C-alpha cells in the first residue's frame, strides 16, 4: 500500500470540517427523509409512528391521483423544455450577431434570470390577474378580447400559462449557455462551408446545429430537472387549481406533507420524484456522452 | 479558368483599420501566385476578398471580365485551404471531402469516385471513416487539401497551409503542392510569411507590407533585384547585410564609401542619392582577387554550419554576416579580405529605401 503523504494528511484535515458541514446540511436531511418515508407519520397523531416498510411507496404508486399529477408534471416539463430550447436558441442566435445595442440588449435579457423566483411568481400573478392584470389590460386596449378573461381559471390554459411564466424566467440562462457554445464555433468553419458552396441556411444546418448539440443537451438536462421539480409558480399562481388542473407532483408533495401533515407519504413521494429525476438525468447524460 | 484582377481595392474593417490599401494586382489564369509578407500585412484579407469571405470596401475585383464584388462566397468557383484547416468536426473525413460536391449536387457515383481519387493521391484513403479529431496535424492538412482538390475549382486559395506542420513535413508538402498545381488547371493564390516557401513555390511573388504591395516579380526578381530595403531584408536567411554609407564619383566611377572602405559600383546603379545603403547577401562573397572589388575587415566570430561556415566580420564599425566554404581557414581576431561580385551588389537610397538599380 502507498504511504499517505504529509500533504495528503494536511488536505484531509482541512477538508474534514467542510465535509462535516456538508453531511449535516445535506446528507442528514436526505437520509432522515428516507427514514421517515418508511413510517406512517402523521402529525395529527404524533405519538403513533408505526414502521410500514414500503407501504407508503406502494400507496403513492397505486394512487390514480398521483399518476394524474405525474402526467401533468410531464406535460408541464415537456412544454417548458421544448419552448425554452426553441426560444433560447433564437435569442442566442440573435445575440451572436453584431449589431448596435447588442450589449444593452444582452444585459436586459438577463433581468428575468436575476429576479428571485418568488418575485417572478408574484409578478406573473399580477399579469394574469382577472381584475387588474396587465395581460387583460393589454388585450382589452388592443381590442383582441371584449371582456376581461379569468386566465388561470380555465383548466385548459392553466398549465401552459404557468409554463409561460417558468419559460420567461429560464430562457436567459439557457440562451447564455447556448451563446457560449455558439461563440466557440471557429469562424473559419463558416468560411470553409461558404467557399464549399453552402448558402447561409445550409451552413446553419451543417455547422451551427451540430455544434450546438452539447449545448442543447445541457439545457435540456438542466431545464428538465428544474421543471420536473418546480414548485414556486404552482404555489403562488394557482395552488394546484383550478380543480386540480395544475396539481403537479411537487405541489402534491407539499399538500401531502404540510396540509395533510402526512410526512411518511410526502417523503415517499419526494423520493419517487428524486429517483425519477435521477433516472431521467442519467438517461440524458448517457445520451450526451454518446453524441459528443 | 480564371484570371483575377484587383483594381484599386481597399479593405477597411468595421473598427476602422485599413488592412489593404489601393491594391492593384493582375493574376494570370493558372498562375501560381504567392502573397508574401510579415504577419498583419493584409495577406489573409486579400485572400478572403478573393474567396468572398470579406467584403471589398473600395475598388473592384474581377474574375476574367466579371466583377465579383457582390457575388457571395458560395457562388464563386473557389476552393480554399485554411491555416486552421477548418475541417467540419462532426463529419467523417469522407464527408468533409465530399461536402463541396454535395453542395453542387454532383451525382453519388461520380462523387464517390472523385473523393476516392483525391484520397488515394493524398494517401488518406484509409482514414475516410475517421473524424477530424482522430487525425494527426499532417493528416488533417491532407484532408483540407483533398477537400479543396475534389472541387476542381478555377481558383485555388491557400492561407499558410503548411505553417502548422513540422519542418520536415513542410518541405515534403511543398513538393506535393507544386505537383498539385501542375495537375490542376486552377489559378493558385498562396499566402505565406515564409520566404523560403514563397521562393520554392511561386511563379510570381507579391511582397506586401502594411496593406500595400512592395514588389511583384518572379522569385529571381524578388531575391536578386529587390525593389526596396524592406523586400531585400525580408527575403534571404540569414538576412542581407546592410551597410550605410555615401556615394562618391572617383575617377569617373560611382563608388560606395564608408570610412576607409571604397566599393566601385557597376553601371546599373543610378547615382542620384548621397546617403545610401549597400546590400550584400551573406553568400555573395568570394576569395579576394586583384580584379574584383574587395572588402576588408576583421574576423569577429566563426560559426561552422554544416557544409559552410558563417563569419561575423567587423568592417568599418559594422558587422557583416558572411557565408564561406568550410575550407576557408579563419581565426578570430585576424584580418580577412573578400572579393565582391559587382552584379550581386544591391544599392538603396537611404531616405526613401528604394533601390537605385536602373530599370532593366
Ligand atoms: N476582422 C478584423 N477586424 C479588424 N481588423 C482586422 C480583422 N482581420 C484582420 N484585421 C487587421 O487587418 C490587418 C491585416 O490582417 P491579415 O490580413 O489577417 O494579415 P496577415 O494575413 O497578413 O497576417 C491586421 O492589422 C489585422 O489586425
Ligand atoms: Mg493571415
Alpha-carbon gap, residue A6 to A9, rounded angstroms:
5
The CA distance from B119 to the nearest CA of chain A, in Å, is 17
Cell 429560464 identifies what position?
Answer: A170
Rounded (5°) CA angle A14-A16-A19: 120
Which atom from ligand 1 is nearest to the alpha carbon of B39? 23
| Tens digit of each residue's pLDDT (9 = 90 or more) over A37-79 | 888 877 777 777 788 878 888 888 888 988 989 999 999 999 9
| Total residue length of chain B | 360
B74 with A210: Cβ contact below 8 A:
no
Q: Is the CB of B80 inside 8 Å of chain A's CB atoms?
A: yes
Which is it for strands B32-36 and B187-192: parallel, antiparallel or unpaired?
Answer: parallel
Which atom from ligand 1 is nearest to the alpha carbon of B160? 21
Chain B residues in contact with A194 by the CB 8 A cut-off are 51-53, 72-74
Alpha-carbon gap, residue A137 to A120, rounded angstroms:
19
The closest CB to that of B82, out of A188, A198, A211, belongs to A188
Q: Calculate mean pLDDT across residues A88-116.
A: 89
Cell 511582397 identifies what position?
Answer: B207
What residue spans define the domains of chain A?
53-289
Which of B36, B40, B43, B208 best tests ligand 1's pocket when mutated (most atoms within 8 Å of CB)? B40
| Residue B178 confidence class, pLDDT cut points 50, 70, 90 | very high
Predicted pLDDT at B245? 93
| Tens digit of each residue's pLDDT (9 = 90 or more) over B109-155 | 999 999 999 999 889 999 999 999 999 989 999 999 999 999 999 99
Give percent of chain B above pLDDT 90: 73
- Taken in order of first residue, the domains within chain B and their CATH numbers are 4-232 (3.40.50.300), 238-349 (2.40.50.140)
Q: What is the ipTM of this complex?
A: 0.86
CB B5 within 8 A of CB B26: yes
| Residue A291 confidence class, pLDDT cut points 50, 70, 90 | low
Q: Is A2 helix (H, G, I), strand (E, B) or coil?
A: coil
Which is it for strands B285-287 and B275-280: parallel, antiparallel or unpaired?
Answer: unpaired
Chain A residues in contact with B87 by the CB 8 A cut-off are 192
The closest CB to that of B53, out of A186, A194, A207, belongs to A194
What's the B228 CA to ligand 2 centre distance in angstroms?
23
B47 pLDDT above the threshold of 90: yes
Give the number of whichever ligand sits closest to the CA of residue B41. 1
Q: Is the CB of A185 inside 8 Å of chain B's CB atoms?
A: no
Which atom from ligand 1 is nearest to the alpha carbon of B208? 22
Which is it for strands B293-305 and B308-315: parallel, antiparallel or unpaired?
Answer: antiparallel
Cell 477538508 identifies what position?
Answer: A15
B-interface mutation test, from A181, A195, A199, most B Cβ less than 10 A away: A195
Which of B15, B17, B210 best tests ligand 1's pocket when mutated (most atoms within 8 Å of CB)? B17
Cell reading at B200: 520554392
| Residue A242 confidence class, pLDDT cut points 50, 70, 90 | confident
| Tens digit of each residue's pLDDT (9 = 90 or more) over B308-360 | 899 999 998 899 999 998 888 888 889 998 998 888 899 999 999 999 998 87
Instruction: Quote the pTM value.
Output: 0.83
Alpha-carbon gap, residue A249 to A228, rounded angstroms:
8
Q: Calculate mean pLDDT across residues B238-242.
A: 93
Task: Please report the residues numbered 127 through 166 in chain A whose beta carbons come closer than 8 angstroms to any beta carbon of chain B.
Answer: none
What's the B202 CA to ligand 1 centre distance in angstroms?
23
The CA distance from A96 to the nearest CA of chain B, in Å, is 16
Per DSSP, B22 falls in state E
Q: Is A77 helix (H, G, I), strand (E, B) or coil?
A: helix
The closest CB to that of B103, out of A188, A197, A210, belongs to A197
A-interface mutation test, from B45, B68, B76, B88, most A Cβ less than 10 A away: B88
CATH code for residues A53-289: 1.10.3720.10
Predicted pLDDT at A223? 94
Alpha-carbon gap, residue A38 to B297, rounded angstroms:
100
* Chain-centre distance for alpha carbon A138: 29
| Residue A292 confidence class, pLDDT cut points 50, 70, 90 | low
Q: Calculate mean pLDDT across residues B10-26.
A: 93
Chain B residues in contact with A290 by the CB 8 A cut-off are none
B88 with A206: Cβ contact below 8 A:
yes
φ, ψ of residue B242 to 5 degrees: the values are -120, 125
| Tens digit of each residue's pLDDT (9 = 90 or more) over B263-293 | 999 889 988 888 999 999 999 988 877 777 8
Three state DSSP letters for B260-320? CEEEECCCCECCCCCEEEEEECCCCEEECCCCCEEEEEEEEEEEEECCEEEEEEEECCEEE
Q: Name beta bridge partners: B172.
A: none
- For the four alpha carbons of B165, B171, B176 and B182, in that order, the dihedral sign comes to positive
**Sheet containing B285-287: order of strands:** B285-287, B335-340, B293-305, B308-315, B318-325
| Residue B106 confidence class, pLDDT cut points 50, 70, 90 | very high
Predicted pLDDT at A24? 85
A193 with B99: Cβ contact below 8 A:
yes
Q: Calculate mean pLDDT across residues B69-90.
A: 93
Which atom from ligand 1 is nearest to the alpha carbon of B15? 4
* Chain-centre distance for alpha carbon A11: 36
Q: How many helices (H) and strands (E) does chain A have?
A: 15, 0
The CA distance from A200 to the nearest CA of chain B, in Å, is 9
A9 pLDDT above the threshold of 80: yes
φ, ψ of residue B317 to 5 degrees: the values are 80, 5
Predicted pLDDT at A262? 82
B83 pLDDT above the threshold of 80: yes
Q: Calculate mean pLDDT across residues A141-149.
A: 78
Q: What is the mean pLDDT of chain B?
A: 92
Predicted pLDDT at B105? 92
What's the A213 CA to ligand 2 centre distance in angstroms?
30
Predicted pLDDT at A41? 79
Chain B residues in contact with A207 by the CB 8 A cut-off are 88
Give how far Cα A221 sits from Cα of A217, A228, A277, B63, B198, Å. 6, 11, 10, 51, 52
Predicted pLDDT at A1? 58
Amino acid at each position: 500500500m502507498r504511504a499517505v503523504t504529509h500533504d495528503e494528511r494536511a488536505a484531509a484535515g482541512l477538508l474534514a470540517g467542510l465535509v462535516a458541514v456538508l453531511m449535516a446540511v445535506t446528507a442528514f436531511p436526505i437520509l432522515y427523509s428516507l427514514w421517515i418515508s418508511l413510517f406512517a407519520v402523521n402529525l395529527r397523531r404524533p405519538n403513533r409512528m408505526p414502521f410500514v416498510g414500503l407501504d407508503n411507496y406502494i400507496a403513492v404508486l397505486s394512487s390514480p391521483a398521483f399518476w394524474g399529477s405525474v402526467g401533468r408534471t410531464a406535460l408541464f416539463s415537456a412544454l417548458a423544455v421544448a419552448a425554452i430550447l426553441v426560444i433560447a436558441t433564437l435569442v442566442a442566435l440573435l445575440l451572436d450577431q453584431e449589431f448596435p445595442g447588442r450589449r444593452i440588449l444582452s444585459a436586459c435579457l438577463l433581468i428575468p434570470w436575476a429576479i428571485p423566483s418568488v418575485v417572478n411568481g408574484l409578478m406573473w400573478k399580477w399579469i394574469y390577474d382577472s381584475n387588474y392584470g396587465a395581460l387583460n389590460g393589454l388585450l382589452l386596449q388592443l381590442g383582441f378580447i371584449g371582456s376581461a378573461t379569468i386566465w388561470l381559471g380555465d383548466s385548459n390554459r392553466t398549465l401552459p400559462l404557468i409554463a409561460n411564466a417558468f419559460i420567461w424566467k429560464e430562457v436567459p440562462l439557457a440562451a447564455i449557455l447556448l451563446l457560449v457554445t455558439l461563440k466557440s464555433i471557429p469562424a473559419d468553419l463558416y468560411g470553409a462551408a461558404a467557399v464549399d458552396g453552402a448558402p447561409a441556411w445550409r451552413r446553419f444546418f451543417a455547422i451551427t446545429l451540430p455544434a450546438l448539440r452539447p449545448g442543447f443537451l445541457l439545457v435540456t438536462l438542466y431545464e428538465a430537472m428544474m421543471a420536473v421539480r418546480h414548485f414556486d409558480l404552482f404555489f403562488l399562481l394557482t395552488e394546484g387549481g383550478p380543480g386540480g388542473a395544475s396539481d403537479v407532483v411537487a405541489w402534491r408533495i407539499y399538500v401531502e406533507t404540510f396540509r395533510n401533515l402526512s410526512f411518511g407519504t410526502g417523503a415517499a413521494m419526494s423520493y419517487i420524484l428524486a429517483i425519477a429525476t435521477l433516472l431521467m438525468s442519467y438517461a440524458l447524460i448517457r445520451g450526451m456522452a454518446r453524441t459528443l | 479558368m480564371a484570371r483575377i484582377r484587383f483594381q484599386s481595392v481597399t479593405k477597411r474593417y468595421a473598427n476602422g483599420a485599413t488592412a489593404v490599401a489601393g491594391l492593384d494586382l493582375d493574376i494570370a489564369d493558372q498562375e501560381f501566385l504567392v502573397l508574401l509578407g510579415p504577419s498583419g500585412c493584409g495577406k489573409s484579407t486579400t485572400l478572403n476578398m478573393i474567396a468572398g469571405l470579406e467584403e471589398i470596401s473600395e475598388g473592384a475585383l474581377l474574375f476574367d471580365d466579371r466583377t465579383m464584388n457582390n457575388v457571395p462566397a458560395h457562388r464563386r468557383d473557389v476552393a480554399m485551404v485554411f491555416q486552421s484547416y477548418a475541417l467540419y468536426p462532426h463529419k467523417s473525413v469522407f464527408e468533409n471531402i465530399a461536402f463541396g460536391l454535395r453542395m453542387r449536387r454532383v451525382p453519388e457515383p461520380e462523387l464517390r469516385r472523385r473523393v476516392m481519387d483525391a484520397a488515394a493521391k493524398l494517401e488518406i484513403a484509409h482514414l475516410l471513416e475517421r473524424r477530424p479529431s482522430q487525425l494527426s496535424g499532417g493528416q488533417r492538412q491532407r484532408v483540407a487539401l483533398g477537400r479543396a482538390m475534389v472541387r476542381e475549382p478555377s481558383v485555388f486559395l491557400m492561407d499558410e497551409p503548411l505553417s502548422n506542420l513540422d519542418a520536415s513535413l513542410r518541405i515534403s508538402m511543398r513538393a506535393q503542392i507544386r505537383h498539385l498545381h501542375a495537375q490542376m488547371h486552377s489559378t493558385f493564390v498562396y499566402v505565406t510569411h515564409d520566404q523560403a516557401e514563397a521562393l520554392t513555390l511561386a511563379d510570381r511573388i507579391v511582397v506586401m507590407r502594411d496593406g500595400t504591395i512592395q514588389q511583384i516579380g518572379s522569385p529571381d526578381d524578388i531575391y536578386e533585384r529587390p525593389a526596396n530595403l524592406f523586400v531585400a531584408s525580408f527575403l534571404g536567411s540569414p538576412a542581407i547585410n546592410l551597410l550605410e554609407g555615401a556615394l562618391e564619383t572617383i575617377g569617373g566611377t560611382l563608388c560606395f564609401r564608408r570610412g576607409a572602405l571604397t566599393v566601385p559600383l557597376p553601371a546599373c546603379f543610378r547615382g542620384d542619392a548621397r546617403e545610401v545603403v549597400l546590400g550584400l547577401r551573406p553568400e555573395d562573397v568570394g576569395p579576394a582577387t586583384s580584379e574584383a572589388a574587395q572588402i576588408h575587415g576583421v574576423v569577429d566570430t566563426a560559426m561552422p554550419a554544416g557544409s559552410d561556415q558563417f563569419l561575423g566580420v567587423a568592417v568599418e564599425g559594422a558587422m557583416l554576416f558572411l557565408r564561406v566554404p568550410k575550407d576557408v581557414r579563419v581565426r578570430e581576431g585576424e584580418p580577412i579580405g573578400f572579393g565582391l561580385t559587382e552584379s550581386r551588389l544591391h544599392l538603396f537610397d537611404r531616405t526613401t529605401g528604394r533601390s537605385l538599380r536602373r530599370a532593366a
